[in-house]
Amino acid sequence: MRDVPCRSAHEGRCADDPDAGHAAPVADGPGGWLDRLDRLGAGHRHDGTDAAGWPEPDLGGRRPEGTDPRVPQLPAVRRSDDGAALAPEARGGAGTRARRDASGPVPGLRGRLTPAGPPGGASSHPARTPGPNGSARQPEPGPRALPARTMPMQTTTTSQTEPATRDRARPAGPDAHGGSAPSAHAAHDATAPPGCPAAPPRNPTGLLPSPYGPVSSASGPLPSNSAPAPSAYGSVPAPGPHALFQAAVEFLTLHHVERRLGDPARRIAAVRAEMADTGTYRHTTEELVFGARVAWRNANRCIGRLYWHSLHVRDRRDVQGAQDVADGAADHLREATRDGRIRALITVFAPDAPGRPGPRIWNEQLVRYAGYTRLDGGVTGDPRNAGLTALARRLGWPGGPGTAFDVLPLVIEGTDDKPRWFALPDDAVLEVELAHPEHDWWRTLGLRWHAVPALANMCLEIGGICYPAAPFNGWYMGTEIGARNLADTDRYDLLPRIADRLGLDTRTDRSLWKDRALVELNRSVLHSFDLAGVTVTDHHTESRRFLTHLEQEERRGRRVGADWSWIVPPISGSATPVFHRTYETVERRPAYVHHPEALERAEGAPLV
């Protein structure tokens, strides 16, 4: 098995950032603003970083001579005569890559996977709030913490400018390795459990001392008559003007501190004036890029946050209409796919504003498979998407061929618009057909999965501004597909069928038939993605990299929040190093947030 890291990752800066390495001079030394910041206890020191003050991950491992040691290298990809990419060991049938086609029913699938008549009907499928880097997971028993490697289990909500101590991995939302977001939107109780140190006290105003003077130093009051932005279908109202300004000040201060841009007072004054005129403000391109990357860094459920600084950002804030959003989403998939060398990418569409809600994508991910409810109550395809499938049918989608892997259309609600459906172009969706390294019959199961896990219905919150349509992706960790999407009993539920083909004794759980079938299914995923030349990582490698991320963030004085039940892989948990410790669940902004009404829309909420 070869691990294929993100080629765009770069220590300390992103290749797409024209200002990387060219930050403004810093008034350092005694009496400088960084010195005042240190004396205030903000904990943002920049020793050991690049000129811009960004972290420098050490991925380890051997690299070819003559290459930049800071840039992870991809294995060479061979090409067939028609230009398709092949892994070095690929010689034919197994693990081939496939663009979408309109083939008929998937052969070899029975029960819930068997196509049955014209698709239709509706089904309500309860979905857990997903988290970074994978499908929704059930809570697991608490960890067996080792005394020498434990952290106090605190639950706090904090600003990034607070004193720091310890964060990447599972995208918040199902299956998005490399990208993530916490699902909780509200503040948590800051009381520490018995035996744990109490959480640090917070300023009653919710803001920490600024090295640049009081927040109110900019002249002029904020408008009190700015109406919260209305959003269709019950969206959460926007914050009031003073809460918005406070959030803006915290974010702008963080941006200037981490990027070493000097005193943010002038920028804060400009934002105050803009808010007085319009009730909101617009981020600069640099602020948007920084905010999107730090939101990934803050994603408690994501195990792949080591690569947070490599996120590529597509600024599409001028796009509001449903058709234009659909076109932009297809372009996002094309750019993220890169012929299998998956790039961590986010596309940011228009934000919510007073009196004008931004566009919304109802799908949980840009690529999802339909779930057709049959007359017998079963589901052909993915039961998780049965509700949205029925909604798309009511909106006029005729349905696909009726297989277990029909790609759902996008359901998009534009600004001042009703939701409409849009089919994804064939060339925007790359899929991998699953085979097995030893069992030739595996291909007769007709299994496949899409290459890019692009979360679509989470809100990107930066400095009080909500971007409700901001699809983002990393790349898959194999267990997200093999241990969750294809194996969960409320998803494709393939373990009984695979165990039967393997000849395992399924009469008793003591035969461990589920465990054995689960391992073979995950071997199939890694094997097939590798043969197809599509980026994927395994849970053992990613667990080690997550601890590397923790160490690097701690050295830079930044606290790292993590959700143990999401960080620990769904198979072989105790065999990975992330299992044997505890974590703080620190909620911080910027963040990727799951609003309750977004989850309802993904389940096919009724139209109003």
CB of 475 closer than 8 Å to CB of 496:
no
CB of 468 closer than 8 Å to CB of 231:
yes
14 belongs to the catalytic site: no
Q: What secondary structure letter does DSSP report for 12?
A: T
597 belongs to the catalytic site: no
Which of 431, 446, 454 is closest to 101 using CA atoms?
431
Radius of gyration of the chain (CA): 24
CB count within 10 Å of CB 195 equals: 7
Residue with tokens 């989850």: 599
Provide the sign of the torsion angle of the four alpha carbons 453, 173, 113, 411, taken in this order. negative
> Collapsing DSSP states into helix, strand and coil, what is residue 460?
strand
Which of 304, 418, 358, 289 is closest to 3 using CA atoms?
304
First vs last Cα of the chain: how many Å apart? 50
274 belongs to the catalytic site: no
288: Cβ contacts below 8 Å, ≥ 6 apart: 313, 315, 317, 348, 462
User: What's the CA gap between 14 and 135, in Å, rounded?
Assistant: 28
Which of 219, 217, 213, 283 is closest to 251 using CA atoms?
283
480 belongs to the catalytic site: yes
Structure tokens at 502: 């393997």
Cα dist from 476 to 16, 134, 511, 515, whole Å: 23, 8, 30, 21
User: Which of 287, 480, 587, 603 is flagged as catalytic?
Assistant: 480
Question: What beta strand segments (E) does 519-561 contain?
Answer: 536-537
User: Which of 6, 302, 459, 466 is flagged as catalytic?
Assistant: 302
Whether the upstream peptide bond of residue 126 has omega within 30° of 0, thus cis, is no
CB of 496 closer than 8 Å to CB of 514:
no
Burial class (CB in 10 A: 0-12, 13-18, 19+), 315: middle
What's CA 233's distance to the chain center, in Å?
Answer: 24
Determine the angle formed by the axes of helices 285-297 and 241-258, rounding to 10 degrees: 90
User: Which of 112, 260, 305, 420 is flagged as catalytic?
Assistant: 305
User: Which of 54, 442, 475, 566 is flagged as catalytic?
Assistant: 475
Residue with tokens 């931004």: 358
Burial class (CB in 10 A: 0-12, 13-18, 19+), 145: middle
User: What's the CA gap between 205 and 243, in Å, rounded?
Assistant: 10
Which of 537, 529, 405 is closest to 476 using CA atoms?
537
DSSP string, 48-72: TS-TT--------S---TTS-TTSP
How would you classify the pairing of strands 78-79 and 476-477? unpaired
Residues involved in catalysis: 302, 305, 475, 480
